[in-house]
Amino acid sequence: MNALVFGAGNIGRGFLGALLTQSGFSITFVDVDETKTTLLNQLGEYPITTVSAHGTETSLVHHVRGIASTDQEAIARAVVEADVILTAVGKDALRLVAPVLSLGLLRRIKERPRDETHVVVIACENVNDNTAYLQGLIENNLEPQDSSRLSRAISFPNCVVDRIVPNISDPRATPHPLAVTVEEYFQFVVDRTVLRAPFPAITGVELSDDLSSILEQKLFTLNMAHAIVGYYGYLRGCQFIHEAVADPDVALLLNGALDEVGTTITERHPTIPVHAQRRYAEKVVHRFQNAHLRDAIVRVARQPKRKLGAEDRLVKPALLTRNQGRVPAYLATGIAAALHYDHAGDIQAQELVSEIRQKGIARVLHEVSGLAPNDELTRLVQSDFLLRSL
């Protein structure tokens, strides 16, 4: 079986590659980094170190090759031959993937027998409606009649993906040029309702008829908590996530925010019982405590403007909590901490610092998060920000 993965970064190699090799797939990675694709072709394998609270374990991902993103013909041929197609490139880069993917999928329909044209395409990106977004980009590259043919032959299910893959660059820990370190835990859930054929057998993948509840649970719990620990941990002078979550002040803010979103989630989604949400939150905290991961604060906190978006991990659950008649006090403090993030190596952080100085908190929140200047949440965030006591 052949898998095509756009993106040979940490998620592509450390998450998708690991599951695919366990499932017996040969893997073709497409990447803009030609050094990486050359190494994949030369070596044909790479090590993955899985880190748990009990230690580490290293295994190999076999039968891999690489294609440079500039080799459009080779990519289109790989699309024709693939049994599953996945992306791990980030939302913004999907627009660069869509043209060649649309070309390859059309060739697949024309060249393969009718009973072999179907393939599942999944955008494993950490955003809402991830694959639906990619499908829209693909259809924008097609004539209406071709778009219709494609929609009948190809499955484009949304998904929820979750695995911490830190950037560990210590040569003593990663002597292999393609080595990657991952946490033991992972989650990969696919929307069953849009599948047009049986889903390929990939180890660990779950199929769900209620993906929206799983997505909100992850976004409001894991992603929210990660952001709050990252931003507040940065203000407390921490370097790694496990250090931040051990700080009593960070832990107080984290637990308060988890309580706020826990009630919001269980009220919005009756399919998620209170005890299940509590266990999920406890698991999240346990994952953050894994000192072996050495997950850097600056990795988790990067791109604060994106993470302060109206539909993202901090503002959306805060608004939903408020709309349910409760005060999102801890979430507001987390938002204030994000506004204080000023890491010199983060372009968005520096933009925020400059914009806040020029325009003030209320206007920046309006532009970045869509909050009205007189919104209750804006006032809460302003209070926390200006006090700087957090």
Contact 76, 70 (CB under 8 A): no
Q: What is the mean pLDDT of residues 319-346?
A: 97
pTM of the model: 0.89
Q: Is residue 389 predicted with pLDDT exceeding 50?
A: no
**Helix, strand, coil percent values for the chain (each to nearest 5):** 55, 15, 30
Question: How many other CB atoms are there within 10 angstroms of residue 351's CB atom?
Answer: 14
Q: Is residue 224 predicted with pLDDT exceeding 80?
A: yes
Question: In which order are the strands placed within the sheet that holds 206-208?
Answer: 159-162, 187-191, 206-208
Q: What is the mean pLDDT of residues 72-98?
A: 97
Which fold does the domain 2-209 belong to in CATH?
A: Rossmann fold (3.40.50)
Contact 99, 19 (CB under 8 A): no
* pLDDT per position as a tens digit, 102-115: 999 999 999 998 88
Ranges in the chain annotated CATH 1.10.1040.10 = 212-387
Q: What is the mean pLDDT of residues 184-212?
A: 96
**pLDDT value at position 195?**
96
Euclidean distance between CA atoms 286 and 281, whole angstroms:
9
Q: Is residue 379 predicted with pLDDT exceeding 60?
A: yes
Ranges in the chain annotated CATH 3.40.50.720 = 2-209
Domain 212-387 of CATH type 1.10.1040.10: yes
Phi, psi of 253 (to 5 degrees): -65, -45
Q: Which two tokens stand for residue 311?
A: 């539909």
Angle made by CA atoms 85, 70, 306, in degrees to the nearest 5: 65
